[in-house]
Structure 1
Amino acid sequence: MQMKGTTQFSSSRNDSNCTSDSRISQVIFPLLYTFLFLVGLTMNGLAMWVFFKISSKSNFIIFLKNTVISDFLMILTFPFKILSDAKLVSWVLRGFVCQVTQVVFYFTMYISILFLALITVDRYQKATSPFRSPTPRSLLAAKLLSTAVWLSMFALSLPNMILNNKKKTPRSVRKCALLKSEFGLVWHEIVTYICQLIFWVSLAVIVVYYLLISRELYKSYKRTRCTGKASKKTVNLKVFIIIAVFFICFVPFHFTRIPYTLSQTRDVFDCSAQNTLFYLKETTLWLTSLNACLDPFIYFFLCKSFRKSLLAMLCQHRAVPGLGAHTKGQNEGDDTDETPL
């Protein structure tokens, strides 16, 4: 049984004659990632600058800070992918991409997925207990949980770097799977299934809690509809930006990832099917990368402290007399960090 499994992995790994359309892989995708890199670096750099000025006095802000760090790390991997895919540098960089930056990319992707799920749970708690103040114990628990997320994903990802240890040659770096040892291919497939589990559990959590949030919003709407405050309903709907970002960025990729991984680690698809899966994977992977550009909208629309700090910085930059000071005064007098539901 073991010998059969080894043969299955080896045959796929040695199949390096199947090539894809270079115009798509070397031109279109590098241009798309260049756009994301420029936009994402600007938006997340600004977001990090703002968050450094905000104290971590709620679970919500702690989770948002971790998300922006994860997104920023993901964005830093884009130049390596752009240069490698466009073949603007030597094949040696492709080996580095396979061993390091591609692993970091997936590492940060699943960290973002986990934190979006945690943020959703926090939003539900805010909906049901809008006036509950965070305690030192709850803040410590949020920080410990955030640390556990980072350490767990790092423990899963590190072997993918270590086991990517076959000799790098111009031929072998065409596909990252060709650089993995036999156990490296097995581990890669195991991690893929674990990450799929993380995604589907996170998706279930987000869907269930958004149904609960919707119920709370409907109850709130019924209580206020007779007061003529129609605008309140519109403001409350901003919370659905999280589930919108999640479905746009992560759902398509996870319907593609398992068959694509099987095409890389096992000899189960012909060349035409491998190419089709490659294009589907690259397209949906670009959508996951788009998450780094969409998350700042979550910060702006749902985090009151972030929004006020950002507007204050912009006002000071434009040197509008008195306006920046006025916004700062609002910040200091407001005990609520996040936009209530």
Structure 2
Amino acid sequence: MKATTNFGYSRNDTNCTSDNKLSQAIFPLLYTILFLVGITMNGLAMWVFFKISSKSNFIIFLKNTVISDFLMILTFPFKILSDAKLVSWVLRGFVCQVTQVVFYFTMYISILFLGLITIDRYQKATSPFRTSTPRKLLGAKILSTAIWISMFALSLPNMILTNKKKTPKNVKKCALLKSEFGLVWHEIVNYICQLIFWVNLVVIVVCYILISKELYKSYKRTRSRGKASKKTVNLKVFIIIAVFFICFVPFHFTRIPYTLSQTRDVFECSAQNTLFYLKESTLWLTSLNACLDPFIYFFLCKSFRKSLLDMLCKHTALSELRAQMKEQNEGDDTDETPL
């Protein structure tokens, strides 16, 4: 029987790799689509958000989310080039040591802020007339900073401990580049991240149950004609839980067994490969979060929506004015005679 405490899987079974046409062609294509859509949407979202003052906890949390998503998207080109084998194997080592760590770092920051956003929406549903005081805003900024620092402190050792000499053979599996303690730390961080996910999942589900109760009470109190419109607007808040379940739940049912397959000698090669494809497929769904979050900003943040629409209207009006001026210039056949 194989010892379940053996962290030497990656050392003993280096021939079990998952390279084939699926991981080399389909996943890079899917990530390319996400990159093009995500960089456009989040670039626009960042532009809009940093024209808006941080006048509420909600906006502060949304701003942190868009920064996190943008950083995640910047890691996609490295994964695309590495998985498609379009560049030297040296880049694969860089992906294992740096960009893959940044990807997971930003993922869990997004999960934490989605949890905080949900709590804020619950408070808004139960106390719609509450105002943000300077003290509350400062608390939200301090909490946001603490989240970034804590997640960075967890992630940095994963970069430092991926310190084995890189070769064309061992870069095929990131676990092969980790020291013995690096494998242990990787598994510890995985359990901490799982805890972050499950705590936030419980928080989000509980908050939405309470929000649903508030909506139902509100619906029962008034059945006037205007109520249907109000109900439709209120239901937009459920976009958060929809995004959370689509993007993060499938991956976290896969991650623990996959991590065990990378750090412990407990799975046969066929099982390792199956877990690899499950992990890659569900990981793509987590990446989809960077493209879905802008819909949360648009539907739930009035300041964001107003600023975006105002900006688009000004751009449209300016384009129309330029087109009119161009037509006038093209229609003017008068020659200018130099004096």
TM-score, scaled to structure 1: 0.91
Structure 2 CA distance for aligned equivalents of residues 172 and 12 of structure 1: 9
Partner in structure 2 of residue 337 of structure 1? none
AA in 1 matched with 2:88? S
Structure 2 CA distance for aligned equivalents of residues 254 and 12 of structure 1: 22
Partner in structure 1 of residue 42 of structure 2? 44
Q: Any conservation in 2 of the 1:70–1:112 contact (CA below 8 Å)?
A: yes
Unmatched tracts of structure 2, length 5 or more: 320-339
Q: Any conservation in 1 of the 2:4–2:265 contact (CA below 8 Å)?
A: no
Percent of residue pairs bearing the same amino acid type:
88
For residue 236 of structure 1, report the CA deviation from its aligned partner.
0.9
For residue 14 of structure 1, report the CA deviation from its aligned partner.
3.2
AA in 2 matched with 1:121? I
Unmatched tracts of structure 1, length 5 or more: 322-341
Structure 1 CA distance for aligned equivalents of residues 257 and 292 of structure 2: 27
SS at match of 2:265: coil
Partner in structure 2 of residue 222 of structure 1? 220
AA in 2 matched with 1:123? R
SS at match of 2:107: helix
Partner in structure 2 of residue 162 of structure 1? 160
Structure 1 CA distance for aligned equivalents of residues 6 and 299 of structure 2: 50
Partner in structure 1 of residue 229 of structure 2? 231
Structure 1 CA distance for aligned equivalents of residues 3 and 195 of structure 2: 23
Structure 2 CA distance for aligned equivalents of residues 6 and 260 of structure 1: 14
User: Superposition pairs for residues 38-77 of structure 1, below 5 Å?
Assistant: 38-77=36-75
SS at match of 2:222: helix
Q: Any conservation in 1 of the 2:7–2:264 contact (CA below 8 Å)?
A: yes
1:182 to 180, 201, 208: 180
Structure 2 CA distance for aligned equivalents of residues 49 and 124 of structure 1: 27
1:90 to 88, 96, 109: 88
User: 1:265-298, CA deviations, whole angstroms, 9 ceiling, x for partnerless residues?
Assistant: 1111111101100000000000000000000000
Q: Any conservation in 2 of the 1:249–1:287 contact (CA below 8 Å)?
A: yes
For residue 23 of structure 1, report the CA deviation from its aligned partner.
0.7
2:99 is equivalent to residue 101 of structure 1: yes
For residue 320 of structure 1, report the CA deviation from its aligned partner.
6.6
- The number of residue pairs the alignment matches comes to 319
User: Superposition pairs for residues 141-152 of structure 1, below 5 Å?
Assistant: 141-152=139-150
AA in 2 matched with 1:30? P
Q: Any conservation in 2 of the 1:73–1:108 contact (CA below 8 Å)?
A: yes
SS at match of 2:7: helix
For residue 5 of structure 1, report the CA deviation from its aligned partner.
7.5
AA in 2 matched with 1:37? F
2:281 is equivalent to residue 286 of structure 1: no
Partner in structure 2 of residue 305 of structure 1? 303
Q: Any conservation in 2 of the 1:6–1:182 contact (CA below 8 Å)?
A: no
AA in 2 matched with 1:16? T
Q: Any conservation in 1 of the 2:3–2:266 contact (CA below 8 Å)?
A: no
User: 1:56-109, CA deviations, whole angstroms, 9 ceiling, x for partnerless residues?
Assistant: 000000000000000000000000000000000000000000000000000000
Structure 1 CA distance for aligned equivalents of residues 171 and 262 of structure 2: 13
SS at match of 2:104: helix
AA in 2 matched with 1:155? A
Partner in structure 1 of residue 327 of structure 2? none
Q: Any conservation in 1 of the 2:161–2:182 contact (CA below 8 Å)?
A: yes
Q: Any conservation in 2 of the 1:256–1:277 contact (CA below 8 Å)?
A: yes
Q: Any conservation in 2 of the 1:13–1:264 contact (CA below 8 Å)?
A: no
SS at match of 1:275: helix
1:18 to 16, 40, 61: 16
Partner in structure 2 of residue 209 of structure 1? 207
Partner in structure 1 of residue 326 of structure 2? none
User: 1:110-139, CA deviations, whole angstroms, 9 ceiling, x for partnerless residues?
Assistant: 000000000000001101111111000000
Partner in structure 1 of residue 79 of structure 2? 81
Q: 1:6 to 1:187 in 2, by over 3 A?
A: farther
SS at match of 1:319: helix
Greater C-alpha Rg: 2
AA in 2 matched with 1:301? F
